[in-house]
A and B are shown apart, each in its own frame.
Chain A
């Protein structure tokens, strides 16, 4: 069982739809990172958060530390949002490294 699980693994949406991608993890963490990877491979940092909610443009990320869960929302989705979205968690203590989820492949159709 992966320590970091994302759902759904694949998601197809119509342009304009509201999208939610979920990330669950199995033990306590100190922080979480959402990343975006476009076709062609480049990885871009979207959000780093340890509590509450962050917003950047049409993207919103939330985290509930007690429930060990984070969500990434995209409002008014657009075909250019099509990418793989990756959740990575930072465990506290001796394991000072990011553990990655397997990603959610999002396709937004016009």
Chain B
């Protein structure tokens, strides 16, 4: 049963600390998306990769967020330094090619104190 996996599932950290979230896309998928979900804003796209190359990171605060795909089996989202307003659920999704077709991971619930 192929699934997108994300680690950690929950993270509590203090303001100013670095946070790294990891995503393993479904094997064979060549698109990877990072989303942030909050009560106020709903789901927002942070970054989008195709074949490991970043295609769109316009939704990501550039000064503190970074997203990478070091290889086809791993995508990372880093926040440094973290702030309380970054508290949210971060979802990774992968797909076989079309933007419309995305399979979501379980999410990482981040709390920044």
Interfacial residues, chain A to chain B (CB-CB below 8 A): 30-31, 33, 35, 41-45, 48, 86, 88, 90, 96-98, 100-103
Q: Which residue of B lies closest to A90 (CB)?
A: B100
Majority SS at the chain B contact face: strand
Contact stretch, chosen from B18-26, B41-49, B61-69, B77-85: B41-49
Q: How far is the CA of A42 from the CA of B4 in the complex (A)?
A: 11
Residues of B within 8 A of A45 (CB): 101-104
Judging by beta carbons under 8 Å apart, are A48 and B42 in contact? no
Given contacts A100-B43, A101-B42, whether A41 and B103 have CB atoms under 8 Å apart is: no
Majority SS at the chain A contact face: strand
**Chain A: minimal CB distance from B49 (Å):** 12
**Chain B: minimal CB distance from A38 (Å):** 11
Judging by beta carbons under 8 Å apart, are B100 and A103 in contact? no
Judging by beta carbons under 8 Å apart, are A42 and B99 in contact? no
Q: How far is the CA of A54 from the CA of B7 in the complex (A)?
A: 34
Our count of residue pairs bridging A and B at CB distance below 8 angstroms stands at: 45
Q: Which residue of B lies closest to A86 (CB)?
A: B43
**Chain B: minimal CB distance from A48 (Å):** 5
Residues of B within 8 A of A102 (CB): 42
Residues of B within 8 A of A90 (CB): 99-100
Q: How far is the CA of A35 from the CA of B56 in the complex (A)?
A: 22
Q: Which residue of B lies closest to A91 (CB)?
A: B99
Judging by beta carbons under 8 Å apart, are A98 and B89 in contact? no
Q: How far is the CA of A97 from the CA of B104 in the complex (A)?
A: 15
Judging by beta carbons under 8 Å apart, are B91 and A43 in contact? yes
Judging by beta carbons under 8 Å apart, are A48 and B101 in contact? yes
Q: How far is the CA of A42 from the CA of B104 in the complex (A)?
A: 8
Residues of B within 8 A of A43 (CB): 91, 93, 104, 107
Judging by beta carbons under 8 Å apart, are B42 and A100 in contact? yes
Judging by beta carbons under 8 Å apart, are A97 and B43 in contact? no
Judging by beta carbons under 8 Å apart, are A98 and B102 in contact? yes
Judging by beta carbons under 8 Å apart, are A98 and B107 in contact? no
Task: Please provide the chain B residues from 54 to 113 with a CB less than 8 Å away from any CB of chain A in the complex.
Answer: 55-56, 89, 91, 93, 99-104, 106-107, 109
Q: How far is the CA of A33 from the CA of B55 in the complex (A)?
A: 21
